[in-house]
Amino acid sequence: MKPSGSRSNKIEITTYPRIHLTLIGMHEGEYRVNGGIGFAINNPSIKIISEANVSIIVEDRRNLKFANSELNRVIGILTSIRNDFKLTYGLKIMIEESEVLTHYGLGTTTMIRLASIESLFIINNHRVSNNELVLLSKRGGTSGIGVRTYFDGGLIFDLGNRILQKKITLEPSSEKEKVIEKAPLLLCRLNMPAWKFGLCIPYFIPNKNEKEEKEFFKETCPISNTEVFETLYHSVYGILSSVLETDLECFETALERIQQCRWKKEERGLYGKDLTNLISSIEIAGANSIAMSSLGPGLVFFSQNLKNTIRQLKKNVPNASFHIVSPRNQGRSVNYV
């Protein structure tokens, strides 16, 4: 069944993870709240294969899949879009096996949802803007890192949401899906230098589901203005400036400082001794500047001898995957089969 006027009835979209260094404005705010800083990486990737179908079907072949409620939400969003735009064809989607698992801090929900929606429009030969795709995905309500790196890669710094008459709640993006009106305000998008670093996905550390994530935000927010200012300082004067000047030493220092800021410290504290012991193992193997991405427990790190560090970790830390990665300054890739 080939949609009339389209290039193909089968689409492959390869999406790439993002490292979310930190959320920033998790206080009661004065001007803006939310927002953050992060960047895309080149591997491991997720491939979403889609073809025209009578109905909407989504098959997740990863070892750690979407929960049924998450999968049904994707199907529900795609069904609503198809009905609202009066699209002829449905979609059969296969999320290929990948080491990028859900709720490990790498942005899989945003990646998969955007790729699925984009595939639906391509299959039906219907053009929409990137901004429309973001709004339809209902992602990016708290931080715009993932929705922007999906299309453009690079380093993203966003300024969160303006506080108007109504109070903006401090919640994860999953809790803002019914109220999102626009993505957080973009301050800048920069190409990342070609630095290499390590990525650890620790399967032995239980991840946090949406309910646990919501509870964490409820218990932790708001943090103080002073604590937000500290994170903002290291993000701008540390991360942002080091990328502009290709200053790896400054970048690593800022990465370490952010780990000690209140918000990131609270996120890391969710995993207790499991994370502490893992970080110690990574340090013993010769790594430094170890940082957790988003709500974790995925980690990134630097090392003077990265290949040797990774080699040791693969031997000494079971049930975890380790990768040598570098930033990606392009967005997803789309192939017509």
Per-residue pLDDT tens for 268-293? 999 999 999 999 999 999 999 999 99
Angle at 168 between CA 163 and CA 173, to 5 degrees: 125
Residues 21 and 160 in one domain: yes
Q: Is the pLDDT of residue 176 over 60?
A: no
The DSSP secondary-structure symbol of 238 reads I
Residues 98 and 157 in one domain: yes
Q: Which residue type is seen at 222?
A: P
Better pLDDT: 55 or 101: 55
88 and 3 Cβ atoms separated by less than 8 Å: yes
Residues 257 and 306 in one domain: yes
For residue 76, give its domain range: 10-191+329-336
Residue 126 lies in a domain: yes
Per-residue pLDDT tens for 190-218? 999 999 999 999 999 999 988 899 999 99
pLDDT at position 171 is 59
Residue 4 lies in a domain: no
Residues 82 and 180 in one domain: yes
Segment 149-153 mean pLDDT: 97
Residue 41 lies in a domain: yes
- Please tell me the distance from the alpha carbon of residue 42 to that of residue 48, in angstroms, as a whole number: 16
- Please tell me the distance from the alpha carbon of residue 71 to that of residue 113, in angstroms, as a whole number: 10
Residues 61 and 114 in one domain: yes
Per DSSP, which regions of 26-89 are E strands? 32-40, 46-53, 56-60
Indicate the range of 44-48, 80-84, 96-100, 154-158 predicted with least confidence.
96-100
Per DSSP, which regions of 110-221 are E strands? 155-158, 161-162, 186-190, 197-202
Residues 186 and 204 in one domain: no
Per-residue pLDDT tens for 17-72? 999 999 999 998 888 889 999 999 999 999 999 999 999 999 999 887 888 888 99
Structural domains counted in the chain: 2
Q: What is the rounded average pLDDT for all residues in the chain?
A: 91
CATH at residue 242: 3.30.70.890
